[in-house]
Amino acid sequence: MPFILLALLVLGLIFGPGLWVKRVLKKYSEPRDDLPGTGGELAAHLLERFELEGVTLETTERGDHYDPQAKAIRLTEPVMNGKSLTAVATAAHEFGHALQHQKDYQPLNTRTVLAQNGAILEKIAGGAIFLIPVLSVIPGLAMFSRVLLLVIIGSMFLSVFIHLVTLPVEFDASFNRALPILRDGKYISMQDQTEVRKILLACALTYVSQAMFSVLNIGRWIRLLRR
């Protein structure tokens, strides 16, 4: 019985955050005619209001995010053209990252550097995945396949670390940047503030769910290393 409870707890920690995030974002994605505009219109308005010169607004299929290198706020189609609480809050959250960049917010700069290095290591790990089956069957080279396994596991650990380092950045974008803008600018009503807080929390916790899945993948690769 204790083992079953432990297993359920682990599964809850791994899958729980992601399921909750998806549930919240979907729940408040219904169109609202009483909102002043779409997520994209809000982001464009805020860029002009705060005079963030050089920052572009783009539509993407790779998830809502702000790219510090390209200085681009990228929103998915439902957020860019959606007139819902989820669209408006998500757009404000991503604008919060652009505002962090303009203010030279150090935690964002740190995350950006870590993400760049993580991307390089991820590419190396990707190549290692293809080399391992080849090296494992060549006499005398099997040991190198284990070294490559360690590289892959190291890449995943770095990914988890980056996601955890990202948390303060995400919470700042949601609650120190986006929420005051939405509330004080009267882009949302008093009645919607509780729901918007939930959406902004979901935006901030997106990386937690990704980190939990990375932990699950690390466990799989470690089991391979022990064989």
Confidence label for 179 from pLDDT (cuts 50, 70 and 90): very high
pLDDT digit string (tens) for 108-125? 998 888 888 777 777 776
Burial class, 26, CB count within 10 angstroms (exposed 0-12 / middle 13-18 / buried 19+): exposed
CA distance 46 to 184: 13
* Across 185-214, average pLDDT: 85
CA distance 98 to 182: 15
Is the full-model pTM beyond 0.75?
A: yes
Query: Is a pLDDT exceeding 70 seen at residue 162?
Result: yes
pLDDT digit string (tens) for 88-111? 999 999 999 999 999 999 999 988
Nearest to 37 by CA among 98, 97, 108, 91: 91
Confidence label for 25 from pLDDT (cuts 50, 70 and 90): very high
Which residues carry out catalysis? Answer: 94
CA distance 59 to 43: 12
How is the chain split into domains, by residue range? 2-226
Calculate what percentage of the chain has a pLDDT beyond 70: 76
In this prediction, residue 225 carries a pLDDT of: 47
| SS3 (DSSP) at 125 | helix
Centroid of chain to Cα 140: 42
